Structure 1
Amino acid sequence: MTQSVPMAEIWRGPFLESVHSGHAVVCDEAGQITHAWGDPEAVVLPRSSSKMIQALPLIQSGAADAYNLTSEQLALACASHQGAAIHTDRVGKWLDALGLVDDAFRCGPQIPADVPARDDLIKTDQSPCRIHNNCSGKHAGFLTLTQHLKAGPDYVDPDHPVQKACLDIYETLTQVTSPGYGIDGCSAPNYATTLHGMARAMAHFAAAPTGSPEERLRSAMMAHPELVAGEGRACTNLMRAMQGKVAIKTGAEAFFIAIIPEKKLGVALKIIDGATRASECAIAAILVKLGVLDPEHPETMKYLNAPITNFAGLKTGTLRAAPKLL
């Protein structure tokens, strides 16, 4: 097995204080590796970076069209959102249209990451609901597919038709037989694959023709970056910086993917210590290297060569991409 390589560094003055290592792969439309760092065959759990794959059966089954889902709803099906009103209002209307209530979700209640939404709950002495869960959009998609298939309510069970459909398309696009799964933070199974397999799947999304299920999902993400994550989040900030030309998606424990239609490339990366700051820096560096992200854009500089400040506002260090990544 090839060892992981340094991907992000923390410098404090002239001292290299910390290093985050990882693996990354870039694939073309044929699934061939064009760039690789570390071990392309490392087995990984893509976590929420796989949401667009999990959303594919929603369209392929005919459920999305049968329920007249909008591009906003498709973006939410791929989202790890902040729990802001812009997210929960839309997911709530979607749930109402299905004739369901909050308890239909199998994801757990979660305090919103969005500060105004969180503060509003505190001020009104309310508890968070399942709709506030960052994965509630994905679960609304699961519920839509469940109704379309006339399947039982426990849609996160690995033996449920929804999850079987997700696994089938996952293995088809990655071209890897999954060695198993872990249970994600939202209670759904998250299937393992290789980093190469995940990059291959993202390249498939990038090369998919107009009108295909894959193109509909990537276009929804690029059209609605604020729904995919939220204000202040790297996914939203960097997609805006690339002016709707690239779809990117983070996953827990420092995973990241990118879908680059104009170059028909797919990217997958994993920071092995699970540090989100490192995965955000690394994906920005790779997008700059591939020529789709302006290194001087203000949003880029929040993640690449980003200043680290202390509570007094003094610059005390820098987060930068490791030389091998560049």
Structure 2
Amino acid sequence: MAAVPMVELWRGGILESMHAGHAVICDDKGGIVEAWGDPEAVIFPRSSCKMVQALPLIESGAAAAYGLSDAQLALACASHNGAAIHTGPVVRWLADLGLGEADLRCGPQMPDDRDARKGLICSDTKPCQLHNNCSGKHTGFLTLNKHLNGGPEYIDPDHPVQRAVRAVFEEVTDLPSPGFGIDGCSAPNFATTMHGLARAMAFFATAHGRDGLRDRAATRLVGAMMAYPELVAGEGRACTNLMRAMGGRVAVKTGAEAVFTAILPDLKRGIAVKIMDGADRASEAVITALLIRVGALDRNHPVVERYLTGPVLNRRGIAAAEMRLAPGFTS
């Protein structure tokens, strides 16, 4: 099955652009409740699966051994803005491990946070790896690595850290991964199907009702994300805004190339979205629409206008276009 039209952009009464994709909603048993496009389409989850990558950090005993807080676990699941509230805790976490910025393998990145970016530009200082949106995830990897006594190249696909991540990833998606790609932060990103990714999110959504080691790890990670939405992304970001709008009842996570996932413990549902042209505006609109559809998000909340129903403004603040859900999608 092909990707289906999901979001349209209309300007001057004419259809200007269209975004097609796939979406799957899974129930508490991992079965498909609803799907659009192809549930068996193979994708890279990118950063939308960081909570899966963080499971070995808790399961191994590393989180307990180093006394990690829920705020640190939220950072392990984060694609953050590189603001002081993100980089400061990462610096302290690394120091607690006896490590520093040079031990990271995620690469430098100019921060998205305005104040942090301005501070670097005005001081003629280059960004470093702490500003990388994945520095929290990588510090989690380093914590696990220290616990496992592994070598420094923890991003190597054959390293014990990444072998542990792959094993967990395949178990919670309930599928062998057909392979991996190298993510923007240099770590391997394991591929799966849309159904597999949604099934993994449903596992996280239902973990609180079980008492296994992995269930407790998943429950803690979801709780950390919902408790610290500002650490998972940052001010102005869709993940943070949507989680705040839902009052700490749902965890959502974006990924590069327009992937979006949602974990809904109250409803025992997991959602996965992928827009094939990689447009974030479309993945944000679709996840918003699906959260409304399942009853997790109030359609009258202001966040809905921001990501789904509001006008597209030009540089003078004039309403120049509008986003619409494609006919047939979610109807």
The match for 1:176 is 175
* TM alignment of 1:1-326, pairs within 5 A: 2-209=1-208, 212-326=216-330
Letter in 2 for 1:190: N
Q: Which runs of 5+ in 1 are unaligned?
A: none
Q: CA deviation at 1:143?
A: 0.3
Q: CA deviation at 1:150?
A: 0.7
Aligned equivalents of 2:6, 2:89: Cα separation in 1? 37
Aligned equivalents of 2:99, 2:124: Cα separation in 1? 24
Root-mean-square deviation (CA), in Å?
0.9
Aligned equivalents of 2:298, 2:267: Cα separation in 1? 16
Aligned equivalents of 1:189, 1:223: Cα separation in 2? 28
SS of alignment partner, residue 240 of structure 1: helix
SS of alignment partner, residue 208 of structure 2: coil
SS of alignment partner, residue 198 of structure 2: helix
SS of alignment partner, residue 116 of structure 1: helix
Q: CA deviation at 1:277?
A: 0.4
Q: CA deviation at 1:177?
A: 0.6
Aligned equivalents of 2:99, 2:119: Cα separation in 1? 24
Q: CA deviation at 1:320?
A: 2.4
Q: CA deviation at 1:12?
A: 1.1
Aligned equivalents of 2:317, 2:286: Cα separation in 1? 25
Aligned equivalents of 1:323, 1:213: Cα separation in 2? 40
Deviations 1:1-30 (A, max 9, x none): x11111111011321111000000000111
Deviations 1:217-248 (A, max 9, x none): 00100000000000000000000000000000
Query: 304-313 or 229-238: which moved more?
Result: 304-313
Aligned equivalents of 1:8, 1:93: Cα separation in 2? 42
Q: CA deviation at 1:301?
A: 1.1
Aligned equivalents of 1:99, 1:175: Cα separation in 2? 36
Q: CA deviation at 1:306?
A: 2.3
Deviations 1:153-191 (A, max 9, x none): 100000000000000000001011100000000000000
Aligned equivalents of 1:9, 1:78: Cα separation in 2? 31
Q: Which runs of 5+ in 2 are unaligned?
A: none
Letter in 2 for 1:50: C
Aligned equivalents of 1:90, 1:300: Cα separation in 2? 31
Query: 4-13 or 260-269: which moved more?
Result: 4-13
Query: 5-14 or 164-173: which moved more?
Result: 5-14
Q: CA deviation at 1:325?
A: 2.2
Deviations 1:22-43 (A, max 9, x none): 0000001111000100000000
Aligned equivalents of 2:120, 2:245: Cα separation in 1? 32
Q: How many percent of aligned residue pairs carry the same amino acid?
A: 61
Aligned equivalents of 1:230, 1:140: Cα separation in 2? 18
SS of alignment partner, residue 248 of structure 2: coil
Aligned length: 325
Query: 141-150 or 312-321: which moved more?
Result: 312-321
Contact 1:241-1:300 at 8 Å conserved across structures? no
Query: 11-20 or 147-156: which moved more?
Result: 11-20
Deviations 1:200-228 (A, max 9, x none): 00000000026700000001000000000
Q: TM-score, normalised by structure 2?
A: 0.97
Aligned equivalents of 1:280, 1:109: Cα separation in 2? 26
SS of alignment partner, residue 6 of structure 1: strand
